[in-house]
Every structure is written in C-alpha cells, then in structure tokens.
Amino acid sequence: MKTVLIDDERLAREELRRLLGRHPEVEIAGEAGNVTEALRIIPLLRPELVFLDIEMPDRNGFDLLAALPPPHPEIVFVTAYDAFALRAFEVNALDYLLKPVHPARLAEALARVGRRRAEAGEEDDARSGAESRPEPRFRADDQVFLREGDRCWFVPVREILLLEAEGNHTRVWFRGEKPLLPRALAAMEARMPEELFIRANRAQVVNRAHIVDVEPWFSGGLKASLRDGPAVEFSRRQAGVFRERLGL
C-alpha cells in the first residue's frame, strides 16, 4: 500500500515512519513538510494512502485536499488537535489520529484502510459487470437527478434541451441552467429517448422538441435555433439524418 507522509515536523514524520515500519503491507513512497511540496509529489507518486497533518505553516491539510486534483488517495489525519475532527470526516477522511500516535490506533486505522480498499474492489467488480449490460433508456416523462458540486436538480427528461461535450464531461442545458456532469456524451446520449434526442455533431446532442427554427448552413449542414438555448450546427451527415427522421 503506497503511502505518503505530510507533516511540517520532521520528528513527527520520523516517528510515524518508525511505527509504520511494523506494518509490512505499507510502503512509504515519500514525504513532504508543507502543502506546496505535497501538491507536487502526490500526483507524481499516486499513493493509495496519505497521513496528513492539519496545522502547517503555509497552508493547512484541508487546503491541500481542496487543491489536490482527483483521484484522491485515502486520507488519515494525524494532528495534535481534536478540534478538527468533525471537519475531517466532512471531507471523507478515513480516520483521525491524535499525536502522539498510539500503535494500536495506528493499526486500527490501517485495518480500516484495508476494509475500504476491499469494498472498493468489490464495487469495481460489480460495476464492471453492470457495464457489460446496457443501461435502459429514460422515457420522456421520467425525471433524472443531476448534481454539480453542492447543487442538485430533479429534471424531467423532456425539459433537457441540449447535451454538450466538454472533454470527458457533458454539460446539460435546461431551464437556464447548464451544470457540467462527469460523464461522457456518448454515455448520456445512450440513456436519452430516441424519439426526442438526435445527434447534431460530434459534440452536441439536441432535443428536437426544443428546436424552433432551422436554416441551411455551410457545406450541406443545418443551423437550428433552440428555445431558451444556443444555436446548434448540424454536420452534413447529421443534417441528413435529421431530414430523414423529420421527413424534410
């Protein structure tokens, strides 16, 4: 289990390294004395587990988690203060150890990490099995749950006017909102009802019920205006599919 130690006190890191030496399943891949250095080495080393101090001179452990790009390793906080315990679990820390670290509490934390990793492996196996079966399409009257950060919506499928690719994510347009969801456009398109949604180009899938005007466009394509949304350009190939489906 590749592990990184983050603490501004060298002696604290040395003591934790000594205690972890009793656990052969742990490989200490690196350590850092501040958040700036931690942000450099964690993406480089890609540890599975980080022991993280909270109070450090430049920025604290919570600042590190906020700045760290995903995927995040498991986090065990190691601190001299118990005042941050609630906040630690709000950011999904796996455990919270108080200094000086007792060997029994450290062993308990490592056992918890092991259980979490085993559960994650079972979930991955289940997900792989589910991915081999296509997900059912929504119906026009179904409501879907969308979430971006702390904001959530229940949205009828028929009110979604546009799906737009941004890298491996998809922006969903509805009611003047356009949250970015961590799912590929092709996967989103596969769930939408075929009688409503049609591919416009490589990056956009449009709900034809929201198209209010269509005009010829360059290179045999079409330009469609959406009610309460942006104009969408149909490629020449997809313009042909559009004409065929709508009988134009």
d(CA 125, CA 17): 33
pTM of the model: 0.51
According to the model, what pLDDT value does residue 2 have?
93
DSSP string for the chain:
-EEEEE-S-HHHHHHHHHHHTT-TT-EEEEEESSHHHHHHHHHHH--SEEEE-S--SSS-HHHHHHHSPSSPPEEEEEES-STTHHHHHHTT-SEEEESSPPHHHHHHHHHHHHHHHHHHHHHHHHHHHHHTSPPPPPPTT-EEEEEETTEEEEEEGGG--EEEEETTEEEEEBTTB--EESS-HHHHHHHS-TTTEEEEETTEEEEGGGEEEEEE-GGG-EEEEETTS--EEEPHHHHHHHHHHHT-
Calculate mean pLDDT across residues 209-233: 90
More confident residue, 1 or 127: 1
Q: How far is CA 66 from the centre of its chain?
A: 13
Domains of the chain: 2-131 (3.40.50.2300), 143-246 (2.40.50.1020)
d(CA 171, CA 180): 4
Calculate mean pLDDT across residues 208-214: 92
Calculate mean pLDDT across residues 99-105: 93
Residue type, 208: R
Calculate mean pLDDT across residues 112-129: 64
Average pLDDT for the chain:
88
pLDDT digits (tens, 9 = 90+) for 222-237: 999 998 888 999 998 9
